[in-house]
Copies of this chain bind each other. A is one copy, B any other.
Amino acid sequence: MHLPSINGKLEIRMTFGTGVAMEMGDEVFDAIEMEIAIFMRRAEAVRLAGLSGIELDRSAYLLLRYLERKGPVGIKALADELQLDISTASRQTAALESKGYVERMADPQDARVSLLRITDGVPAMLTEVRRSRKEFYAKLLNEWPEEDCRKLGELLGKFNRTAEQRQRRRG
Which chain A residues have a beta carbon within 8 Å of chain B's beta carbons? 2-22, 24-26, 28-47, 58-59, 61-62, 82-83, 130, 133-135, 137-138, 140-160, 162-164, 166-167
Contact in complex: B149, A83 (CB < 8 Å): no
Residue in B closest to A164 when the chains form the complex, CB atoms: B42
Q: What's the minimum C-beta distance from A105 to chain B, rounded to whole angstroms?
A: 27
**Cα distance, A16 to B60, chains bound together (Å):** 39
Contact in complex: B42, A163 (CB < 8 Å): yes
Partner of A149 from the list B8, B29, B145 (CB cut-off 8 Å) is B29
Q: What's the minimum C-beta distance from A146 to chain B, rounded to whole angstroms?
A: 5
The 5 closest A-B pairs by CB, nearest first: A31-B153, A35-B156, A29-B134, A8-B16, A4-B19
Contacts of A82 in B (CB 8 A): 41
Listed residue (A11, A37, A130) with the most chain B CB atoms within 10 angstroms of its CB: A37
Contact in complex: A33, B133 (CB < 8 Å): yes
Contacts of A149 in B (CB 8 A): 24, 28-29, 32
Contact in complex: A31, B143 (CB < 8 Å): no
Q: What's the minimum C-beta distance from A150 to chain B, rounded to whole angstroms?
A: 5
Known A-B contacts A24-B149, A28-B153, A155-B148; A4 and B18 likewise in contact (beta carbons under 8 Å): yes
Partner of A8 from the list B2, B17, B21, B167 (CB cut-off 8 Å) is B17
Contacts of A14 in B (CB 8 A): 8-11
**Cα distance, A25 to B160, chains bound together (Å):** 22
